[in-house]
Amino acid sequence: MSTEIRQLPVEQAPLMAKIAATAHSHPMSENTIASCFGNFYRCYGAFDGDLLMGFIILHQLFEEATVMDICLAPESQGQGWGKALMQTGIDWLKQTEAEQLMLEVRAGNASAIGLYQKLGFVVTGERKGYYKTADGTEDAVLMSLPLV
């Protein structure tokens, strides 16, 4: 894997939305993604040359930070890109005032939950029926990582 992780500008929002549409059953819209570029947000992308393979959107408000989305193009999944994006976000947040990083993940996404646990996240709760699915809903697992 030859990756480069770079901070993303808002001009990448259309491409981020296309990647999200291929990877998520209910992705954020391009407008919602574009709204995640501001004072309280940081977006990083994983690149193979000039090709954006995936991204992470972080939101930080004072000492709490949240992974708003992490998304990889389907052909890029399982190759370490997600770990590289998460680690870049964690490293950046450790340089700020953030004390913890929180996220939620579909209960059925065992590979993502495993990655987060390897990075030190712990399960802190759940939201019953939080995510929409083709035939109903799926629970969300809430996770947190102490940064200090």
Catalytic residues: 104, 116
Q: Is 39 annotated as a binding residue?
A: no
Residues 100, 92: Cα–Cα separation, whole Å: 12
Strands 64-72 and 4-7: unpaired
CB 146: neighbour CB atoms within 10 A?
10
Interacting residues of 124 by C-beta distance below 8 A, sequence separation 6+: 102, 142, 143, 144
Q: 44: closest CA among 89, 80, 100, 105?
A: 89
Give me the residue label for tokens 């809903």.
137
Q: Which long-range contacts (CB under 8 A, 24 or more apart) does 120-125 make?
A: 120/145, 120/146, 121/145
* Known binding-site positions for acetyl-CoA: 109
* Known binding-site positions: 109
